[in-house]
Amino acid sequence: MIAEKIKMLREQNDMTQTQLAKALGISRSAVNAYEQSISTPSTQYVVEIAHLFKVSTDFLFGLDSTSTLSVAGLTDQDVEVVYTVVQHLRENNKPSI
C-alpha cells in the first residue's frame, strides 16, 4: 500500500525518483525500492515523505483515505470553487441504492 501511495504522490507532484531521493537525502535506488515494495521506508522517512507531500502518515499506510490539500495562495472565491468541486465529486461517487 505505501509503495503505491509514494509513487502516486511523487507523480502527482511531477517529481522524478531522483528528485524525491534528493529531497529525502537518500539514493534514487532506495526510492525505487520503496515504490517496488522491495523495501519499506523507515519511520523517519515515512514522516518526511508525509511532510513533503502534505499528507498524513495514516494516508501513506492506507489507514485513512483522507488527504490534505493546501489552499494557501488561493482567494476565498477559489477555495469555494474547490470545495464545490469536491462536494460534486462526492455526490457523483455515492453508491446507488
Indicate the pTM of the whole model: 0.69
Residue 69: what pLDDT?
Answer: 76
66 grid coordinates = 483522507
The CATH class, in words, for 2-60 is mainly alpha
The whole-number pLDDT of residue 70 equals: 79
Q: What is the pLDDT of residue 96?
A: 66
Residue 45 corresponds to which cell in the numbers above?
522517512
Kind and range of the H or E run holding 51: helix 43-53
Domain boundaries, the chain: 2-60
The three-state secondary structure class of 40 is coil
Q: Which residue has the cell 523495501?
A: 39
pLDDT in tens, the chain (97 residues): 899 999 999 999 999 999 999 999 999 999 999 999 999 999 999 999 999 998 889 989 988 766 677 788 999 999 999 989 988 988 888 776 6
pLDDT of residue 97: 61
Find the farthest-apart pair of alpha carbons in the chain and give their distance in angstroms, rounded.
49
